[in-house]
A = this chain, B = another copy of it.
């Protein structure tokens, strides 16, 4: 008898929890992640303001990564970027991270235009490191999947802070 009551309760709880949650007409969606596939185990800032705040307060450089989900170059870089263990480990331990699909109002983040994929480093002193760039003269902050070692070298440069004393 107790089992029957428990079973009914379980059914009621299941039914109510099923009905309590809103499901869109078009079907259940996978919740959006802040990583957007660039490293699900990393901690991402949501906005540039938040990234700058963490960068200053933790004295770590900020990496700002502009990308688009319908851009094949972004997607190709994302695959290499997210699957490289050493890169992910260094990012997790030594950097504040932000990925953006929309431009900010800060012109310093687009020194030579608004294109994707584009990676900018910002020093904890809030200086955009326009001196740390990739290998393409016309799109200085673009990286191809084959530029991964260059990106890792640039991360090392970014880790040498402009003002190392606090």
Binding site for B on A (CB under 8 A): 19-24, 28-29, 31-35, 39-41, 43-44, 46-50, 53, 83, 85, 88-89, 92, 100-105
Contact = CB atoms under 8 A, between A and B. Distances in A.
A46 B102 contact: yes
Contact of A33 (B22, B34, B49, B85): B34
Nearest to A37: B31
Copies per complex of this chain = 2
A92 B24 CA distance: 8
Contact of A46 (B20, B88, B100): B100
A40 B47 CA distance: 19
- Which 3 residue pairs are nearest across A and B when measured between Cβ atoms? A22-B88, A50-B102, A31-B40
